[in-house]
Structure 1
Amino acid sequence: MDGQRRVRTEVILPRLARHNPEEYDGWAFRDLTAALAPHGIAPVKSDGNK
């Protein structure tokens, strides 16, 4: 997350794809949500956006 506490989904998904394109290229919000759920991490709203 480049040292940031909170990162919007539309920012983190391209970062993940740049870091490991074979794994993350083409991921959508639902893919990230599903990957984080087993770790107890859920999306939250910020400024009215999820």
Structure 2
Amino acid sequence: MLKFYTTREITNHFLVTKLDIYFRVDSELKLHIGGFVVRTIINNLLDAARRGIR
């Protein structure tokens, strides 16, 4: 049975496919950046906690 796709469905499909490829290609870089961001946030929280304890 043929399914007729709306323009939005087709657009969403292409966007999802592009994002999927983008994430797969850049996953290592993103993990690296993500890890750096998480570490920075944790360090800031620890600094704030230390200041709060004093």
Query: What TM-score do you get using the length of structure 1 for normalisation?
Result: 0.26
Counting helix residues as a fraction of each chain, which structure ranks higher?
2
Identify the structure with bigger relative contact order (alpha carbons < 8 Å, sequence gap 6+).
1
Query: What TM-score do you get using the length of structure 2 for normalisation?
Result: 0.24
